[in-house]
Chains A and B, each alone.
Chain A
């Protein structure tokens, strides 16, 4: 396998297969040697502007070949990349830039308007934009004047590779830190499991700030295969995505069940030749068996693997799905622990649960995050220390997921133990949605809850009460929170009510709100 740092794979293939495609998008491509040189030039540009080892560098871009250059350029300079959702509103972007201490950012022209909306003091050095008023930018043309050889730096595999931000329950997003070693463990597991080789073409369908992208880019690079970047617009149209699979000859896709159900129902599968496709990995949410069975019947030559693992510990477990019998609607197991991962199912007293009894899954793995950036209280809460044979205790991560182990050794998922929900594969803390609603000056109290969306995922809904004398409608409150939350975390509907249902202890009864909604009655 090529090297002990993530970006070693690029230098490795640049030497052995310089002209083979590394990245492909909409009829254009970058070969391994072009990617190697472009990455080195960006690394030198970052270093010339004072990037120090371990500095965090934001990637705030829509999909493009330059996005791949940004990934490797940052790593080659000894920096850690921080993927930022290109659709983030400025207020939310500012929170993450500040939380993570980001002083350098690689951007695409498509996000320039958001960057211009940041207060000048909050703007980092920006790379990849043509110079424009008010933004201190280094253009790609200027990056290309830097040397094409790799910078001479001493980096080790325990150095930080990336920080990925996700919804935080206090209303503040949290960033999880991952090392080169952890990322490579995940990447190599993925490449081996699927048997990736140089002939494969792997879709980059998930956005970069979603941890599936680590598989898309880095498992693929380990094998010397090519990544086909799928533009954000295409990912929203199942019939466009299936046409991309066909025209680009995509062989491997890793995505969320929601995307696959859409593909099944509206992907025009009967008009596509998807014979290039050989493996579909899915994760992030349970896949309803009836939809999975139908998709497997439509794509008989494709293997399917359920991959489970929070972004803190990617690819903990996996399950290769066997043919599903008609009428068998038992939930799909999450399978067995992947290599380099150990699991422990514990009860409320931290004691191991017997077979068949659900408890919280704790994980010890070399893919495990180092912890959350700048959040000591949270780190103290989510990591469990257990005695070891060595001088220091073993560190386990509490996933918050309820899991049981069956007689056959397979693990089964039973939902969350807290208020995190998954919507189309994205993690959303309902507390964060409520915190955003309460930033509207007229909102007195807010309750967010999730209901099934009929597509195998969840939809978020919210009910608010107003302060006396104020009367904004749900639409105005929606408009306000659109500036504070990523799009996937926005409630589908905000209802204004005169009061909220309460439990006997006086707490807001969100379960009752949910039941009222499902019964077709509003509070």
Chain B
């Protein structure tokens, strides 16, 4: 999944706000784009789309702080 794919899902699928601008390194938590419920939605979506199982211990601030970090995490998992 590309950074664009992740951004599109967050904007259209979770926030229902297609006009929102999110840069790859924006802090998704400090800007309050994600809260804990939305993180859960995102994890479920990523699991389905990427066909992987994301264990709870991987759902951390380090792996989900920005679009780039999510992308990097998925990259490591599919490597």
Listed in ascending order, the chain A residues whose CB lies under 8 Å from chain B are: 62, 87, 110, 231-240, 243, 262, 265-268, 271, 453, 455, 474-475, 478-479, 482, 487-488, 492-493
| B61 and A234 within 8 A (CB) | yes
CB <8 Å contact, A233 and B32 = no
What 0/1 readout, one digit per residue, does chain B (47-66) give for beta carbons within 8 Å of chain A?
00000000111111110110
Partner of A233, one of B15, B29, B55, B57: B29
Report if B18 contacts A (CB, 8 A): yes
A237 touches B59 (CB 8 A): yes
The answer to the question of B79 belonging to the interface, with a C-beta cut-off of 8 Å to chain A, is: no
Closest to B36 in A: A236
Q: A453 CA to B30 CA in the complex, in Å?
A: 24
**Can you report 5 A-B residue pairs in the complex whose CB atoms are below 8 A from each other?**
A231-B61, A233-B65, A266-B59, A268-B55, A487-B35
In the complex, whether B39 has a CB less than 8 A from a CB of chain A is yes
Report the count of interface residues on B (CB-CB < 8 A). Answer: 26
B36 touches A238 (CB 8 A): yes
> Are A475 and B16 within 8 A (Cβ)?
yes
| Interface, chain B (partner A; CB < 8 A) | 15-20, 27, 29-30, 32, 34-37, 39-40, 55-62, 64-65
Docked Cα-Cα span, A487 to B15, in Å, equals 11
B16:A239 contact, CB within 8 angstroms: no
Query: Given contacts A235-B36, A237-B39, could you give 6 more A-B pairs where the C-beta distance is less than 8 Å?
Result: A233-B65, A236-B36, A237-B61, A239-B59, A267-B56, A479-B17
Complex: how many Å from CA A238 to CA B55? 12
- The listed residue (B27, B35, B40, B61) touching A240 by CB distance below 8 A is B61
**B17 contacts A475, C-beta separation under 8 Å:** yes
* Contact call A232/B29, Cβ cutoff below 8 A: yes
A243 to B61, CA, bound (A): 11
What are the 10 tightest A-B residue pairs by CB atom distance, in nearest-first order?
Answer: A233-B29, A268-B57, A475-B16, A266-B56, A87-B32, A236-B36, A240-B60, A233-B61, A268-B56, A240-B61
**Given A243-B60, A271-B57, A479-B17: A487 in contact with B36 (beta carbons within 8 A):** no
**What residues on B are CB-neighbors of A455 within 8 Å?**
37
**A237 close to B17 (CB less than 8 A):** no
Contact of B56 among A239, A478, A492 (CB under 8 A): A239
CA distance A488 to B37 in the complex (A): 11
For the complex, what is the distance from the CA of A240 to the CA of B64, rounded to whole Å? Answer: 11
Contact A236 B29 (CB under 8 A): yes
Nearest CB in chain A: distance from B67 CB, A: 15
Q: Which residue of B lies closest to A258 (CB)?
A: B36
B73 to chain A, nearest CB (A): 13
A492 to B20, CA, bound (A): 17
Nearest Cβ on chain A to B45's Cβ, whole angstroms: 16
Q: What is the distance, in angstroms, from B17's C-beta to the closest C-beta of chain A? A: 5
CA distance A236 to B61 in the complex (A): 8
Provide the residues of chain A in CB contact with B60, threshold 8 Å: 237, 239-240, 243
Whether A232 pairs with B30 at a CB distance below 8 angstroms is yes
Minimal Cβ-Cβ distance residue in B for A271? B57
